[in-house]
Amino acid sequence: MSSPSAITIRRFAPGDGAVLLAMVRALAEDHDLAAHLIASASDFDTAFGPDDGRRGAFIAEVGGKPAGCAIWHGSFSSFRGKEVLYLEDLSVLPEFRRRGVGRALMRQVAQECRTRGWASMFWVMMSSNGRGRALYEGLGAEVDDGLAWCRLRGAALEALAT
């Protein structure tokens, strides 16, 4: 029997799409980006249901309740010349913060990285994310500020491609 506050991590299982969506929504709301969230629960079931070795999601539970998630996929580093791991999202639901859930998820992702023989994992965060920075620097991550996120979509993408 696990204690009520025990943290367990499991892989995404078919039907977990709604759980994952709730966590991505919590993350989006934290960053005032909820208007950009257009994913559906079934999108996640489609993307993470089959384990194709290219991407995956971990769900953290505290006392058996969903508490957080980590979403990752393989990336390619041109400086390294090899595959590395990209951490797309790390989210902990507000009521489960400050209990080590984020750290437990980061550890699981680091193990995934090592299992695959990838020498590095990377992610992007907002420089203003102090809670994230404290966690990541505490784990020995290098954090380099001064970056910009660039995106081309919709009419601009269509115009360029035409």
How far apart CA 94 and CA 68 sit, in angstroms, is 9
Q: Which of 1, 14, 32, 79 binds a copy of itself (CB under 8 A)?
A: 79
Classify 29 as helix, strand or coil. helix
Q: Which stretch binds a copy of itself (CB under 8 A): 8-16, 59-67, 78-86, 93-101?
A: 78-86
Classify 49 as helix, strand or coil. coil
3 vs 151 by CB, closer to a copy of itself:
151
Binding flags for a copy of itself, 54-73, as an x/- string (CB under 8 A):
xx---------------x-x
Site for a copy of itself, residues 19 to 58, rule: CB under 8 A: 24, 28, 33, 36-40, 43-44, 47, 54-55
Query: Nearest to residue 67, comparing CAs of 29, 19, 18?
Result: 19
1 vs 150 by CB, closer to a copy of itself:
150
What are 28's two structure tokens? 């989006």
C-alpha pair distances (Å), 13 with each of 19, 32, 112: 10, 29, 17
Residue with tokens 């989006």: 28
Dihedral sign for Cα 44, 46, 50, 52, please.
negative
Give the shortest CB-96-to-a copy of itself separation in angstroms: 19
Classify 2 as helix, strand or coil. coil
Applying CB under 8 A, the residues found at the interface with a copy of itself are 24, 28, 33, 36-40, 43-44, 47, 54-55, 71, 73-83, 86, 88-89, 106-107, 110-111, 113-114, 119-129, 133, 136, 139-161
